Amino acid sequence: MNDRFLRACRGEKVDRPPIWIMRQAGRYLPEYRAIRKEMDFVTLCKTPEKAAEVTIQPIDRLGVDAAILFSDILVPVEPMGFKISFNPGPVLDHAVRTMQDVDNIRITEPEETVPYVYEAIRILRRELEGRVPLIGFAAAPFTLATYMVEGQGSKNFSKVKGLMFSEPATAHALLEKITVATEKYLMGQIKAGAQAVQLFDSWAGLLSAEDFREFAMPYARRILDTLQDAGVPRIYFALNNAHLLEEIKDCGAEVVGMDWRMDLAEANRRLGGRYALQGNLDPTVLLSGSPDTIRERALKVVAAGRGLPGHIFNLGHGILPETPVEHAQALVQAVQEAVR
């Protein structure tokens, strides 16, 4: 099997850095758009054979070194008692604002309430036949809480922050429940066959270091600790984390994801030289750069990765839907040809 990705996560020697791309199955691929013509996004997430098919599309098309389950961070929120739709971002049928709302949230057995997630993983392990490892994922509690309190995406996150600052006990009770639900959800993914997990803390970068220390890191850390004995590499990714690296230093993952804003060597130093890093090409370079520019910028990231305890090449955030497929192909080829 191509285990370059798993080896790099563990800081073992690899011939070249592995590469995968956040949101690698998605709208930039014509074969994804063809399937989305037949069914909406939520139906796709709930149809294991189709979810597995789109998960494999970027492996076939680009030759990346890992697959990531096709799903969404909002999928496990439905059994907690919410109806979810996408327009194109997630919209919930109601928002959490009071302790009563938190009490109403259900903790279920995810194998029973979201069986399609686990079925997709089992199908994928069979269909991938060891070509590349499969990554499972979930949102970190603070990031999921933002959607549950705002009721949708947000620009300034005033409602979730408002809850934290005016009713901290309610905010903590919510984060606590999400943490328990997420531990079960991810343990189930590993049991079903996920070979690594990524915790997405997409919105934690909105917080000051002090608030991150109180409302985000402890809950993410608890999940990462709970997964430790499962023996699969754990990736913690927070966008906009430059002011948070001293807080993330003890996160308990094997890999820390970095966006494009910070130099990888500086991040490594501030993280205590303990983590393999994942990242960090600007997704806009991939969108708008010429193939030559993409190659040149990619090789700079590869070079920066040489000084790290481990390096997994990725974008600094998800691939943009308008990105030409040939750009993604040029990127993967450039990394494949780079010798570590």
Applying CB under 6 A, which residues contact ligand CP3? 22-27, 36, 41, 68, 70-73, 86, 88-90, 137, 153, 200, 202, 239, 318
- Local structure of residue 287 (DSSP, 8 states): H
DSSP string, 256-276: EE--TTS-HHHHHHHTTT-SE
For residue 239, the minimal CB distance to ligand CP3 (Å) is 6
d(CA 141, CA 176): 8
Give the shortest CB-25-to-ligand CP3 separation in angstroms: 5
36 in active site: yes
Cβ-based nearer residue to ligand CP3, 89 or 307: 89
Q: Which of 28, 32, 118, 147 is catalytic?
A: 147
| Cis amide prior to 218 (ω within 30 degrees) | no
3-class DSSP string for 105-150: CCCCCHHHHCHHHHHHHHHHHHHHCCCCCEEEEEECHHHHHHHHHH
Of 27, 97, 213, 261, the active-site residue reads 27
Identify the CA nearest to 340 among candidates 22, 20, 18, 63: 18
Catalytic residue chosen out of the listed positions 7, 10, 36, 270: 36
Residue number with CB closer to ligand CP3 (286 or 290): 286
DSSP character string of 187-253: HHHHHHT-SEEEEE-TTGGGS-HHHIIIIIHHHHHHHHHHTGGG-S-EEEE-SS-TTTHHHHTT---
Toward ligand CP3, which CB reaches closer, 50 or 300?
Answer: 50
Distance CA 189, CA 121 (A): 7
Helices 141-150 and 168-192 sit at what angle, rounded to 10 degrees? 120
Q: Is 27 a catalytic residue?
A: yes
Shortest Å distance, C-beta 240 to ligand CP3: 10
Q: How far is the CB of 301 from ligand CP3 (least distance, A)?
A: 19
The question of whether 116 is a catalytic residue gets the answer no
Which of 139, 277 has the CB closer to ligand CP3? 139
**Annotation says 147 is catalytic:** yes
Closer residue to ligand CP3, CB minimum distance, 242 or 299: 242
Closest CB 100 distance from ligand CP3, rounded Å: 26
Q: Which of 10, 72, 97, 101 is catalytic?
A: 72
Q: Which of 23, 221, 222, 297 is catalytic?
A: 23
CB-nearest residue to ligand CP3: 202
The residues carrying an active-site annotation are 23, 27, 36, 72, 147
